[in-house]
Structure 1
Amino acid sequence: MRHIANRDQDQAWNGYEGTFWAANQDRWDGVNGGFDEPLLAAAAITGGDRVLDIGCGAGRTTRLAARRAGAGRALGLDLSAPMLGRARESARSEGIGNVTFEQADIQVHPFGTGTFDVAISRFGVMFFADPVAAFANIGRALRPGGRIAFVCTARADRNEWLQAIRGLGDLLPVDGLGTSANPGMFSLADPETVRDVLSRAGYEAIGTTPVEAYGTWGRDASDAAAFLLDSGPGRHLLSRAGEDDRARARQRLVDLLRPHEREGALQLRSAALLVTARRPG
């Protein structure tokens, strides 16, 4: 039986949210793929490395890491069974043999001590119920001197998708979006919070660098608005509004996104922190 500490997130990612992400993984990779190269460059994966991908979702970054590891290997861990199913299917279709995936709560998963050389994550570390405990557990899984590199959501005012959603404030209850509540998408948005958490979890040489990338959210404003409002957070907001306000919110979001259409795609800027640290030793 899996040991789960973060039961709310386990329920979400094995319910609608996980199913939606798994079904739309190509689109999510289009949204977040601009952060892949900065993340992997910071991780400095070399041939023979043992790589842990934290909150790997449908496994795009795990597979990229496995290719860089060569004779090494990559393990992707996530709570979401639907997304892991998609990850395994993609690895098989791409013929990547040095990658595996496991369903687990990283905060309490019984890793072997010193099992990995490097840990990575693309937007998979903001939802821990106890982030200090989770990062300490990851640290124990790293060899002495092992490193971690991850990207986490930052700067609410620089994330254009969030600014568009906030433009619906008179129609939908958007006040809680973009706050630093833990667990939550912006729980590690403040560099000082990141440094405090990682320091308390036992890491050293902690670095935080702001990074931004444009992602493709849809073919046009209408397509992107539907995608945003059908995602877990959008669906939750719509469920708390009346029918007339829901219809008005959908149309207004299309109007707010229209200026971001370019060359047959709807592109929005996302802001993140690129974080690096090392286990002592």
Structure 2
Amino acid sequence: MQHIVNTDQAQAWNGYEGTYWARNQDRWDAVNTGFNEPLLTTVAIKERDRVLDIGCGAGQTTRLAARRSGSGQVLGLDLSAPMLARARETAQREDLGNVTFEHGDAQVHAFEPGTFDVMISRFGVMFFADPAVAFTNIGRALRPGGRMAFICGAGPEGNEWLQAIAALSDILPIGGFGAPGSPGMFSLVDPDRIHEVLSAAGFENVSAAHVEAQGTWGQDADDAAAFLLDSGPGRHLTSQVAPEVQDRARHRLTDVLRAHEENGAVRLRSSAWLVTAHRPK
């Protein structure tokens, strides 16, 4: 792998967080799959398109893009070795010959200039140490007139999973969780900041549309609560309190999530920005 500047994120995504996501690929895809169609329809991948998937994780969007590009080529790039291992296994099992995966940091990765027609990302672009530098580097990888579309987290008011976590604020140290600005899942919640970052990176026709999707978080409230609290953010919060407080938090979260049980699943609404932009011709 080439040079990394996002060292904190590399440590997280090659440690517990990356291993947890890789082990639970199917569960995270069930959470986020509702954003696939808006993302891929908007960017309109064509036959023979060369596609770059940034922060591809375990590769669901990469594989979907590969099917749409047909005889084109799709590259998935991610910092997480555990997730990329899972991505390669799945692509091989599905016999997708037009997909490759690379372990790298998009902020400094040595892309071949003008290689790609399309860049996509589903929740993979919020973790850059310097977003303007990262998007400038990504822009160089696109051909003149190349198009970009990505999904990034919007504010807490449309994210029922985050509202459920917020219900634990008197039990866990929630303060600062999901704060905008620094690298993390909500670093691009402000559409004005999105426009500023992408414009500084040389993109034009920048647009951010609000989208929502229902995701499946578990079979029942107990299952969903355990899944949430065992994820990286959940473990970060629970690691700061005593075991008996952790138990209280898990019971409280389970009670909150019971209101979302229906037909053998816990389904929660998530809110995001669908961002589009073009590289100048």
1:57 aligns with 57
Pairwise CA RMSD:
0.6
Question: In structure 2, what is the equivalent of residue 252 of structure 1?
Answer: 252
- In structure 2, the partner of 1:47 is 47
For 1:90-169, list aligned pairs within 5 A: 90-169=90-169
Who is 1:182 aligned against?
182
Q: Distance in 1 between matches of 2:73 and 2:137?
A: 20
Partner of 2:212: 212
Deviation at 1:2? 2.0
Instruction: Give the CA deviation at 1:178.
Output: 2.7
Q: Take 1:190 and 1:36, find their aligned partners in 2: how far apart are those partners?
A: 22
- CA deviation after TM superposition for structure 1 residue 122, in Å: 0.2
- Alpha-carbon distance in structure 2 between the residues aligned to 1:78 and 1:129: 15
Tell me which residue corresponds to 1:268: 268
3-state SS of 1:132 partner: helix
Q: How does 1:13-52 map to 2 (within 5 A)?
A: 13-52=13-52
TM-score (structure 1 length as normaliser): 0.99
Alpha-carbon offset, residue 42 of structure 1? 1.0
> Who is 1:11 aligned against?
11
Aligned residues: 281
The one-letter amino acid of 1:184's match is G
Percent identity over the alignment? 67
Alignment partners' CA distance in 2, 1:193 and 1:69: 31
Cα offset for 1:43?
1.1
CA drift of 1:228 comes to 0.2
Displacement of 1:130 in angstroms is 0.3
Matches of 1:21 and 1:78 in 2, distance apart?
A: 13
Q: Is the contact made by 2:79 and 2:103 (CA closer than 8 Å) also made in structure 1?
A: yes
Deviation at 1:108, TM superposition (A): 0.1
Q: Which amino acid aligns with 2:274?
A: L
Cα deviation digits, residues 98-154 of structure 1 (max 9, x gap):
000000000000111100000000000000000000000000000000010000000
- CA–CA separation in structure 1 for the residues paired with 2:176 and 2:240: 13
**Residue identity opposite 2:190 in structure 1:** D
CA distance in 2, matches of 1:8, 1:82: 16
Could you give the per-residue CA deviations for residues 30-81 of structure 1, whole angstroms, max 9, x where no partner exists? 0000000000011110000000000000000000000000010100000000
Post-superposition, which runs of at least 4 consecutive aligned residues in structure 1 deviate over 3 A?
Answer: none
Tell me which amino acid in the other structure corresponds to 1:215: G
**Structure 2 counterpart of 1:99, which letter?**
V
SS at match of 1:253: helix
Cα distance between partner residues in 2 of 1:189 and 1:161: 16
Q: Deviations for 1:1-29, whole angstroms, at most 9, x for unmatched residues? A: 52000000000000000000000000000
Distance of 1:159 and 1:247 partners within structure 2: 24
Which amino acid is the alignment partner of residue 34 of structure 2? Answer: G
Q: State how far apart, in whole Å, the 1-side matches of 2:236 and 2:223 are.
A: 19
1:220-266 Cα shifts (integer Å, max 9, x gaps): 00000000000001011110011221110000000000000011100
Q: Can you give the 5+ residue segments of structure 1 that lack an aligned partner in the other structure?
A: none
Q: CA deviation at 1:184?
A: 1.1
Distance 1:71 1:182 in 2: 39
- Structure 2 contact 181–188 (Cα < 8 Å) conserved: no
Kindly state the Cα deviation for residue 181 of structure 1 after the two structures are TM-superposed. 3.0
Q: Secondary structure at the match of 1:3?
A: coil
The separation in 2 between residues aligned to 1:58 and 1:247, in whole angstroms, is 31
TM-score between the two structures when normalised by the length of structure 2:
0.99
Q: In structure 2, what is the equivalent of residue 280 of structure 1? A: 280
Structure 1 counterpart of 2:24, one-letter code? N
Contact kept in structure 1, 2:119 and 2:148, CA below 8 Å: yes
Structure 1 equivalent of residue 77 of structure 2 = 77
CA contact (8 A) 2:120 2:150 kept: yes
- Partner of residue 221, structure 1: 221
